[in-house]
Structure 1
Amino acid sequence: MAAITLQNVSVDIPILDVSSRSLKNNVLAAVTGGQIKPTAGSKKVTIRAIDNLSLDLTHGMRIGLIGHNGAGKSTILRVMAGIYEPTAGSVKVEGDVAAMFDIGFGMDPDASGWENIILRGMLLGYSRKEIELRSEEIGLSTGLGDFLSMPLRTYSAGMSTRLAFAVSTSITPEILLIDEGIGAGDAAFLQHAKERLRSFIGEAGLLVVASHSEELLRQWCTTGLWMEHGRQRAIGPLDEVLTAYNDSLSAPAG
């Protein structure tokens, strides 16, 4: 059964050679809510992107991460995916993870579309034989036709995303992590992509999504996790958490 447990997790991101009195530091402090800490005896400072966060996510949950830019949503996803190691605390993940962000990572611009299907598939954990058996189906789903025989560097950004998207959604995930902003090119493919993504999400044992889109969150999620300056502000039924978050945005400052 899919599950993720975070126990007192903190994540500090280092910023090198920044004076504690510099303009850059002041800007960063404003963006992160003052979660910037100088390192003793040096000009190095760190941003506390996640601050003492504990979560217990179990099979069947559909979690929407809510909060302003810099609240820690993307960092949480990358901790769950094993991309970021926590500075403190522990992370336990039960189940295979499919991460729908940085979906073009590991693709070779000089290799053909077909070759990149193999490369991307192996990066996601397929054996070469497994991805080769699926490659024709994946190639067909991209709608790229003869372009699959051409180098990736000749593709437009939308075409490259089509290819990466098709490979990434070819697996059956136990845990699915999605960061917003997944593009899929033109309108016709986007509609196709939505159908494919809906099926992909439905098969996941555990879903965690970071998005500013309430429409998307309401479509995919039942539980909301409101993050603020790297800390958990609220967790509960999605509608209740969204209402509390929106009320906080409209409340007068002070």
Structure 2
Amino acid sequence: MDYAIEVTDVSMKFNLEKEKINSLKEYFIKLLKRDVNHDEFYALKNVSFKVEKGDSFAIVGSNGSGKSTILKIISGIFRPTTGKVSVLGSVAPLIELGAGFDMELTARENIFLNGALLGYSKKFLIERYEDIIEFSELHDFVDVPLKNFSSGMIARLGFSIATIVDPDVLIVDEILAVGDAAFQEKCEERMDKMTSAGATLILVSHSFEQVKKVCRNAIWLDKGEIKAVGTVDEVFEAYQNA
């Protein structure tokens, strides 16, 4: 069986400062004196799961459960404290709204900036520019700086750029919670088309109905630990009965 993603015994530890430090200079002085106190916080604890190639897979759980942390590890943004992650093929991460955008630049300029960060060539972006604008429905705003955009408009642009190619793995974190119902439906249709073509989808969402519509399998994370894994119906039954 081919797995697009294999997560093996992954833990992620963060250090939380216990005291207020007013400046970078003060921090380094305390660091040199080994006088900085931290609390250790584990966002993930020995998490293991596998996602089959071509699956549509959801990660569910309340705020602070570790959902976004595991997505960032899969995307290569974070390196786990312990454990390992294997990802087969190219990844298109759509994790934080506007993470790859410059708010002072226009939508047109950000298409080329964000596309370059995702590894697209300028020639490719010129060829697909109209497709990106058409899908995002932002024809009247291409020369408006993003600082004047709503979060929904930024979501449209980000999703349109990230999905202009067919990646092997598409990672989506709450992006569809923003925007109107019609655009959410467009995004769901595009994700369904991509998984039908063999792409693997990893989705985090607080919307049970949306996950049931888009995904086949899921895990439930609670305080960094896996509480259930299986089909979407099985996981949600466990989640709701807890």
TM-score range, shorter chain: 0.7 to 0.9
Q: Alpha-carbon deviations, 1:38-86, whole Å to 9, x = none? A: xx98520121011011222221222221222222111111111111110
In 2, Cα distance between equivalents of 1:59 and 1:49: 26
Answer yes or no: is the 8 Å Cα contact 1:97–1:175 preserved in 2: yes
Distance 1:91 1:18, change over 3 A: farther
Are residue 235 (structure 1) and residue 229 (structure 2) matched?
yes
Which of residues 44, 47, 60 in structure 2 aligns to 1:53?
47
Secondary structure of 1:240's counterpart equals helix
**More off after superposition, 55-64 vs 8-17:** 55-64
Which of residues 96, 111, 126 in structure 1 aligns to 2:105?
111
Shift of 1:2: 5.8
Distance 1:215 1:146, change over 3 A: closer
Shift of 1:155: 2.8
User: Paired residue for 1:16?
Assistant: 17
User: Paired residue for 1:94?
Assistant: 88
- Given residue 53 of structure 1, which amino acid in structure 2 is its aligned partner? V
- TM-score for the superposition, normalised by structure 1: 0.80
Answer yes or no: is the 8 Å Cα contact 1:2–1:206 preserved in 2: no
> Where do 1:217-228 residues align within 5 Å?
217-228=211-222
User: Paired residue for 1:24?
Assistant: none
- Given residue 11 of structure 2, which amino acid in structure 1 is its aligned partner? S
Are residue 149 (structure 1) and residue 132 (structure 2) matched?
no
> Where do 1:23-62 residues align within 5 Å?
43-62=37-56
Answer yes or no: is the 8 Å Cα contact 2:115–2:125 preserved in 1: yes
Answer yes or no: is the 8 Å Cα contact 2:12–2:81 preserved in 1: yes
In 2, Cα distance between equivalents of 1:2 and 1:128: 32
In 2, Cα distance between equivalents of 1:204 and 1:123: 24
Q: 5+ residue gaps in structure 2?
A: 21-33
Shift of 1:135: 0.8
Shift of 1:127: 1.3
Query: In percent, how many aligned pairs have the same letter?
Result: 36
Distance 1:47 1:127, change over 3 A: same
Secondary structure of 2:142's counterpart equals helix
Shift of 1:200: 4.0
- Given residue 77 of structure 1, which amino acid in structure 2 is its aligned partner? L
Alignment root-mean-square deviation, CA: 2.4
Distance 1:71 1:120, change over 3 A: same
Which of residues 61, 65, 68 in structure 2 aligns to 1:67?
61
Secondary structure of 1:111's counterpart equals coil
In 2, Cα distance between equivalents of 1:172 and 1:229: 33
Secondary structure of 1:243's counterpart equals helix
Q: Report the number of matched residues.
A: 228
**More off after superposition, 91-100 vs 62-71:** 62-71
- Given residue 96 of structure 2, which amino acid in structure 1 is its aligned partner? D
Answer yes or no: is the 8 Å Cα contact 1:172–1:204 preserved in 2: no
Which of residues 173, 181, 185 in structure 2 aligns to 1:179?
173
**More off after superposition, 177-186 vs 76-85:** 177-186
In 2, Cα distance between equivalents of 1:84 and 1:42: 23
User: Paired residue for 1:196?
Assistant: 190
Q: 5+ residue gaps in structure 1?
A: 20-39, 249-254
Shift of 1:172: 0.6
User: Paired residue for 2:153?
Assistant: 159
Distance 1:10 1:137, change over 3 A: same
Answer yes or no: is the 8 Å Cα contact 2:60–2:219 preserved in 1: yes
